[in-house]
């Protein structure tokens, strides 16, 4: 399958306030300007609660900015309706979560096939691709295992295979190794690096682990809903 091209992503004065005006109002992002060229590997660091996940959700079109705009290749998509954004997420974004979020009632293979099914990939093609992906993440032979039968490292491998299912140009990983031990962390980082490289995809990596951010060339630092550092290695 032809990978969907990585878009140039631009956040323009993007803010996100939860429960605006309400008793639990939280200003999670306070006017972020950011441009991510295609194929870049970017880490987002900062203390817990500073708005990293919120930023990632805006980039990946899971959430809409309270004000400001999110553009893909110059097209304002951030404030589009849920239906449009869902379609873009399905076809062009791969999400990897800290707690894996595999569907517990589905096998490893079914989890990987789920996004393809939604994208109406024909069954034989789906099957072939899922096998290829599970092999790529080193889980051939575990296709029929349910998530509870897998180790944390294995679960995250399935989640990475699922994120790659529709060959997205944009990979978003939210503390992908937060629940893993050191050995698994290294293996998952290697895997992420490898799959990204072979697809020339953009990778945005949220972490507060310096070991993780080493695979990135550009490092953002956040504090209290704002970007306070933006360093690109030579």
Partner 1 sequence: MTPWGLGGALRHSRLQAILAVAAIGAAVALPVVLVSVGGGVSAHELANLENAGYQIVISASGIHGIENAHALAHRILSTVASTTAASPVLSIAIDAFTATGGPTPILAEGVIPDQFTPTLGPTEDGLFPNPLPLGDPTDDLHFDNGTYVGPATYDVLISTPYESASGVKVGDRLWLGPVANRSQAIAYNVTGTFGVPPSLLGPTGAFAIVLPLSDLQVMTGYGPAPSAVIPDAADTIEVSVTGSVATNPSALNAVRAQVQALVPFYGVSSLTQEAQQLQSASSVLTGFYLALSSVGISVGLLFLALVLLRRVEADRRSIGVRRALGLPGRSIAAGILLDGIVLAALGAIVGLVAGYLLVESIATWAKGTVKEAASLAVFSPPVLAALVVGILLLSLLASGVATRSALKIDITEALR
Single out the residue of 87, 208, 214, 218 in contact with partner 1 (rule: CB under 8 A): 87
Distances (CA, A) of 69 to 9, 66, 144, 165: 11, 9, 42, 28
> Which region among 10-18, 49-57, 65-73, 208-216 touches Mg ion (by CB under 5 A)?
49-57
54 makes contact with ligand ADP (CB under 6 A): yes
93 makes contact with partner 1 (CB under 8 A): yes
Binding partner selected for residue 105 from ligand ADP, Mg ion, partner 1, none, CB under the kind-specific 5 to 8 Å limit: partner 1
Least distance to ligand ADP from the beta carbon of 35, Å? 20
53 makes contact with Mg ion (CB under 5 A): yes
Binding mask 117-136 for partner 1 (x = CB under 8 A): xx------------------
62 makes contact with partner 1 (CB under 8 A): yes
Q: How far is it, in rounded angstroms, from Cα 171 to Cα 36?
A: 12
CA angle (198, 149, 92) in 5-degree steps: 30
Single out the residue of 26, 86, 118, 187 in contact with ligand ADP (rule: CB under 6 A): 26
Instruction: Pick between residue 93 and residue 222 the one whose CB is nearest to partner 1.
Output: 93
Instruction: Pick between residue 64 and residue 199 the one whose CB is nearest to partner 1.
Output: 64
Residue linked to tokens 């944390």: 152
CB-based contacts of 154, cutoff 8 Å, min separation 6: 139, 142, 145
Output the CA torsion sign for 203, 204, 206, 208.
positive
CA angle (154, 155, 159) in 5-degree steps: 115
Q: Is 224 exposed, middle or buried (0-12, 13-18, 19+ CB in 10 A)?
A: middle
Give the total of residues touching Mg ion (CB under 5 A). 1
Instruction: Pick between residue 192 and residue 219 the one whose CB is nearest to partner 1.
Output: 192
177 makes contact with Mg ion (CB under 5 A): no
Single out the residue of 103, 211, 228, 231 in contact with partner 1 (rule: CB under 8 A): 103
28 makes contact with ligand ADP (CB under 6 A): yes
* H runs (alpha helix) in the chain: 52-59, 82-92, 108-118, 123-136, 152-163, 182-199, 210-213
How many other β-carbons are positioned within 10 Å of the β-carbon of residue 54? 24
Instruction: Pick between residue 47 and residue 132 the one whose CB is nearest to Mg ion.
Output: 47
Name the site residues for Mg ion (rule: CB under 5 A).
53
Residues that bind ligand ADP (CB under 6 A): 18-19, 26, 28, 48-54
């Amino acid at each position: 399958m032809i990978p969907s091209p990585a878009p140039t992503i631009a956040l323009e004065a993007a803010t996100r306030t939860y429960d605006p005006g309400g008793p639990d109002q939280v200003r999670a992002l306070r006017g972020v300007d950011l441009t991510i060229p295609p194929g870049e590997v970017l880490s987002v660091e900062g203390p817990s609660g500073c708005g990293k996940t919120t930023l990632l959700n805006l980039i990946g079109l899971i959430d809409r900015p309270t004000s400001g705009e999110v553009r893909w290749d110059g097209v304002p998509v951030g404030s589009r309706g849920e239906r449009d954004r869902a379609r873009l997420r399905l076809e062009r974004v791969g999400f990897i979560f800290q707690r894996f979020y595999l569907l517990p009632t589905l096998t490893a293979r079914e989890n990987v096939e789920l996004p393809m099914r939604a994208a109406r990939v024909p069954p034989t093609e789906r099957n072939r691709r899922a096998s290829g992906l599970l092999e790529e993440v080193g889980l051939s032979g575990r296709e029929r295992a349910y998530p509870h039968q897998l180790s944390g490292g294995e679960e995250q491998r399935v989640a990475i295979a699922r994120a790659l299912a529709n060959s997205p140009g944009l990979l978003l990983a939210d503390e992908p190794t937060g629940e893993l031990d050191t050995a698994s962390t290294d293996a998952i980082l290697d895997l992420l690096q490898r799959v990204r490289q072979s697809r020339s995809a953009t990778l945005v990596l949220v972490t507060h682990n310096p070991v993780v951010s080493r695979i990135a060339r550009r490092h953002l630092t956040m504090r209290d809903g704002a970007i306070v550092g933006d360093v690109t290695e030579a």
